[in-house]
Amino acid sequence: MFSRNIYVSRRQKLIKDVSEGILLFLGNGEAPSNYGDNQYIFRQDSTWLYFFGIDQPDMAAVIDVESGEETIFGDNVDIDDIIWMGPQPSVASRAEEVGVAKTAPLADLEKVVKAAVAKGRKVHFLPPYRFRNMIWLNSLLGVGFDRMKEEASVEFIKAVVEMRLVKEPCEIGQIDLACNLGYAMHMAATKLMKPGMLEQDLVGVMEGVVISGGYMTSFPTILSQNGETLHNHSHHQILTEGRLTVIDAGAEIASHYCSDFTRTLPCSGRFTQQQKEIYTIVSEGNNLALGLARPGISYRDVHLAVCRLMLQGLKNLGLVKGDVDEALAAGAAGLFMPHGLGHNMGLDVHDMENLGENYVGYDETVTRSTQLGLGSLRMARVLKPGNVVTDEPGIYFIPALIDKWKAEGTCRDFIAFDKLDAYRSFGGIRIEDDLLITESGARLLGSKRLPRTVEEVENAMAEE
């Protein structure tokens, strides 16, 4: 938790950005996995953590925008709780740590919300993503389950997004720490990988590193020789000489700040010539984004510049043909990279995606494309100092997508479909770093960059 002043000043800023009414914050509760007392590891809501810091289940808060009055709602533990959980700080003392003077039992929330509604005041709420909070919101405000996204307060969402998009120095310090733990996870796999192991062996080692050094992974680990499947969560294969393995994994530390890195390793420790050629294009694309990202450029333009570089590299190998700018405009890059260059990262690995991807990654100056790849870009905005974004280009050979485009003649003037036959079992390559936008450019988050070039990867895998 940060110091009291951080939370106080965030809330003071927030209410200046909302015109009237009350702001309703619902924290998360425990979530049962297979029976009530057997729960998933508790994960507090990130917006709650940002404004109230308290990492405990079953809390809510209301801020009166006009009077500035703030109330935290929660229940103190009773003797039964103490028997199972040990003594716990009171709600009032937890609230005091984040500068909130007024607390009330959770049951009082309904009275407060209903009193505001009765006076015709606007009750601003954020779109819920957990069923428990949907039910809670429905009982507090009567919002239909199918209307919760539409009726969430756009003013509240936008105010939260504008604040959380620009990371404060204390947050950057935490993200650096999360990146250092993410580095350790990846290096553990880099050192251990060898043919004959199971993919799951590496997943276990990496997740052990993060559990002992932090809190949990920032998302379910992606580790697969079938890297052409972008989010491949199956880990049952035996690592095989000559194949590549995509490892996309990150750490979430106890403060809940995240990291997200991807590296693609040759199972045997050495790339084949064909792998080196494609790998080098992706690695140059990743480095180009680091060089281009700076305040004033849109991340959409960085995405497009990286796609252009990759199309040129693929043209040099004979896989793309025609004019590269025309190929880019036609969306030919989507065949090879059907995802965006990156996303915001912070308290969530895809930061604030629960508030709506378009509110986070787009504004009135940038609209979302319908092209495959560019249309999946999660962060397209003009960059500002304090933004934290991932830089994760990739090239994948997805047989079903190649067959579809070939059959439909999509981008037929730009793709040398006959040359792609030699790549049908290639898999995919993705390389991902986490960037902080500074006053003059961008820097890598974390103290050390994971091995990235062909030479760095082969050397790191060869070291004991």
70 binds, among ligand GLY, Mn ion, none (CB under 5 to 8 A by kind): none
Question: Which of 250, 203, 243 is closest to 223 using CA atoms?
Answer: 203
Q: Is 260 in the site for Mn ion (CB under 5 A)?
A: yes
- Residue 359 in contact with ligand GLY, rule: CB under 6 A: no
DSSP state of 352: T
Q: In whole angstroms, how large is the CA radius of gyration of the chain?
A: 24
Residue 286 interacting with Mn ion (CB under 5 A): no
Q: Which of 45, 260, 284, 434 binds ligand GLY (CB under 6 A)?
A: 260
Work out whether strand 394-396 and strand 251-252 pair parallel, antiparallel, or are unpaired: unpaired
Does position 357 bind Mn ion by CB under 5 A?
no
The minimum distance between CB 217 and ligand GLY, in angstroms, equals: 10
Least spacing, CB of residue 248 vs ligand GLY, in Å: 5
Chosen from ligand GLY, Mn ion, none, partner binding at 94 (C-beta under 5 to 8 Å by type): none
Q: Indicate the residue among 27 and 227 with the shorter CB distance to ligand GLY.
A: 227
Nearer to ligand GLY, 98 or 306 (CB): 306
Residue 219 site contact among ligand GLY, Mn ion, none (CB < 5 to 8 Å, cut-off depends on kind): ligand GLY
Q: Taken in order 74, 80, 81, 82, is the CA torsion positive or negative?
A: positive
Q: Which of residues 382-401 bind Mn ion (CB under 5 A)?
A: 390
Q: Is 43 helix (H, G, I), strand (E, B) or coil?
A: coil
417 binds, among ligand GLY, Mn ion, none (CB under 5 to 8 A by kind): none
Contact of 156 with 126, CB cutoff 8 Å: yes
**Closest distance of CB 138 from ligand GLY, Å:** 30
Query: Does residue 248 belong to the site contacting ligand GLY (CB under 6 A)?
Result: yes
For ligand GLY, the closer CB: 18 or 341: 341
Residue 50 host element (H or E): helix 46-52
Total binding residues toward ligand GLY, as defined by CB under 6 A: 4
CB of 83 to ligand GLY, least distance (A): 41
By CB under 5 A, residue 221 contacts Mn ion: no
User: How far apart are CB 100 and ligand GLY at their closest, in Å?
Assistant: 34
**Which residue lies nearer to ligand GLY by CB, 47 or 259?**
259
Q: Which residues contact 386 (CB under 8 A, 6 or more apart)?
A: 165, 166, 167, 168, 172, 436, 437
Q: Which residue has the tokens 């009171």?
A: 90
- Burial string for 158-190 (b: 16+ CB within 10 Å, else e) reads bbbbebbbebeeebbebbbbbbbbbbbbbbbbb
Got the DSSP string for 380-425? -SBP-TT-EEEE--EEE--HHHHHHHHHHTTTTTTB-GGGGGGGTT
Residue 124 — φ and ψ, nearest 5°?
-85, 130
| Cβ nearer to ligand GLY, comparing 45 with 260 | 260
- Min dist CB 392 to Mn ion, Å, is 5
Tokens of 230: 């972008």
Minimum CB distance to ligand GLY smaller for 142 or for 220: 220
Residue 1, classified by CB atoms within 10 Å of its CB into exposed (0-12), middle (13-18) or buried (19+), is: middle
Picking from 136, 141, 130, 135, the residue whose alpha carbon sits closest to that of residue 21 is 141
CB of 219 to Mn ion, least distance (A): 8
In the bound state with Mn ion, the residue whose beta carbon lies nearer, of 91 and 258, is 258
245 binds, among Mn ion, ligand GLY, none (CB under 5 to 8 A by kind): none
**Distance from C-alpha of 218 to C-alpha of 57, rounded to nearest angstrom:** 19
CA pair distance 368, 451, nearest whole angstrom: 33
Rounded distance, CA 346 to CA 387, Å?
Answer: 9
The beta strand positions in 213-355, using DSSP E, are: 216-217, 222-224, 244-249, 251-252, 261-266
CB of 334 vs ligand GLY, minimal distance in Å: 17
Report what 171 binds from ligand GLY, Mn ion, none; CB cut-off 5-8 Å by kind: none
Closer to ligand GLY by Cβ: residue 2 or 219: 219
CB of 80 to ligand GLY, least distance (A): 41
CB 240, CB 182: distance < 8 Å: no
Query: Is 228 or 248 the residue whose CB approaches ligand GLY more closely?
Result: 248
Q: Which of 2, 219, 359, 417 binds ligand GLY (CB under 6 A)?
A: 219
434 binds, among ligand GLY, Mn ion, none (CB under 5 to 8 A by kind): none
Residues in the chain: 464
Binding site for ligand GLY (CB under 6 A): 219, 248, 260, 343
Residues engaged in binding Mn ion (CB under 5 A): 260, 390
